């Protein structure tokens, strides 16, 4: 299993507990000679491992495309980002993501939307709220023919329902062309946020 496979699995494996050992016999105590400006055991130079972006850049192409599809379910978008590696920095990768998202055709967008779902609500949200959200989404889907998507970065769980409902209701007043533009922007923002987290998880995957 590659490091990239660990990222796709959302790094679900818990950290193993640190084993405890009983210390064995030690060498007899002795006094080190005084060596001004020196230490008895030289410090070892730290050699940093590959960065998260370097791991992303050099991961197998097919595994990379599969991981990218978890950010935006568009084959064209994922293929384009995988094929244009390596990226010098995260900003370059995100700029490439934005450009590829802006170039999606209507067919590509429909493919991406088919892989989306409504934001998950906290478990303790009461049933009436779920009913209201389902009704609002049904009205949206009946008007535009696809799932409602919205990027809500860092939205507190308590505000998620209200912000989602507000977004659906306000966008129901759009005509289809206006909503197409909004949807394209929301897909771009969703892909950008997920891609940032994906690349950031490479370092965590390497540690397991």
- How is the chain split among helix, strand and coil, in percent rounded to 5? 55, 0, 45
In order along its 208 residues, the chain shows pLDDT tens digits of: 544 454 444 433 333 333 443 333 333 333 433 434 433 333 334 444 578 899 999 999 999 999 999 999 999 999 999 999 999 999 999 999 999 999 999 999 999 999 998 766 666 667 777 788 889 999 999 999 999 999 987 767 778 888 889 999 999 999 999 999 999 999 999 999 999 999 987 655 545 5
Count CB atoms within 10 A of the CB of residue 1.
8
CATH number at residue 141: 1.10.3330.10
Q: How far apart are CA 159 and CA 162, in angstroms?
A: 5
pLDDT given for residue 48 in this prediction = 47
Domain membership of residue 67 (yes or no) is yes
Domain membership of residue 20 (yes or no) is no
pLDDT given for residue 123 in this prediction = 67
pLDDT given for residue 160 in this prediction = 82
Distance between terminal CA atoms of the chain? 12
Domain membership of residue 104 (yes or no) is yes
pLDDT given for residue 128 in this prediction = 78
Q: How many domains does the chain have?
A: 1
**What Rg value do the Cα atoms of the chain yield, rounded?**
25
Domain membership of residue 189 (yes or no) is yes
Token pair, residue 53, equals 């972006």
Count CB atoms within 10 A of the CB of residue 113.
19
Domain membership of residue 21 (yes or no) is no
DSSP 19: P
Q: How far apart are CA 63 and CA 96, in angstroms?
A: 19
Q: How far apart are CA 141 and CA 162, in angstroms?
A: 19
pLDDT given for residue 16 in this prediction = 36
Angle (deg, nearest 10), helices 176-206 and 61-68: 130
Domain membership of residue 129 (yes or no) is yes
Domain membership of residue 131 (yes or no) is yes
Q: The whole model's pTM is what?
A: 0.71
Q: What burial letters (b/e) apply to 119-137, b meaning 16+ CB within 10 Å?
A: beeeeeeeeeeeeebeebb
Q: How far apart are CA 92 and CA 82, in angstroms?
A: 13
Domain membership of residue 8 (yes or no) is no
pLDDT given for residue 79 in this prediction = 97
pLDDT given for residue 165 in this prediction = 92
For residue 64, the enclosing domain spans 50-206
């Amino acid at each position: 299993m590659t490091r990239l496979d660990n990222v796709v699995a959302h790094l679900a494996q818990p950290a193993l507990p640190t084993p405890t050992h009983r210390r064995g016999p030690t060498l007899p105590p002795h006094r080190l000679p005084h060596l001004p400006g020196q230490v008895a055991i030289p410090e070892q130079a730290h050699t940093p491992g590959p960065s998260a972006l370097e791991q992303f850049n050099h991961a197998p192409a097919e595994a990379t495309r599969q991981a990218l599809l978890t950010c935006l379910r568009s084959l064209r978008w994922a293929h384009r980002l995988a094929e244009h590696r390596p990226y010098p920095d995260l900003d370059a990768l995100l700029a490439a993501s934005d450009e590829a998202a802006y170039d999606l055709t209507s067919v590509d967008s429909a493919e991406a939307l088919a892989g989306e779902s409504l934001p998950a609500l906290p478990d303790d949200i009461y049933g009436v709220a779920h009913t209201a959200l389902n009704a609002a989404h049904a009205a949206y889907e009946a008007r535009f023919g696809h799932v409602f998507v919205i990027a809500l970065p860092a939205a507190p769980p308590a505000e998620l329902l209200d912000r989602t409902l507000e977004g659906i209701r306000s966008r129901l007043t759009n005509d289809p062309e206006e909503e197409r533009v909004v949807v394209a922007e929301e897909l771009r923002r969703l892909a950008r946020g997920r891609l940032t987290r994906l690349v950031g998880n490479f370092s965590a995957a390497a540690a397991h």
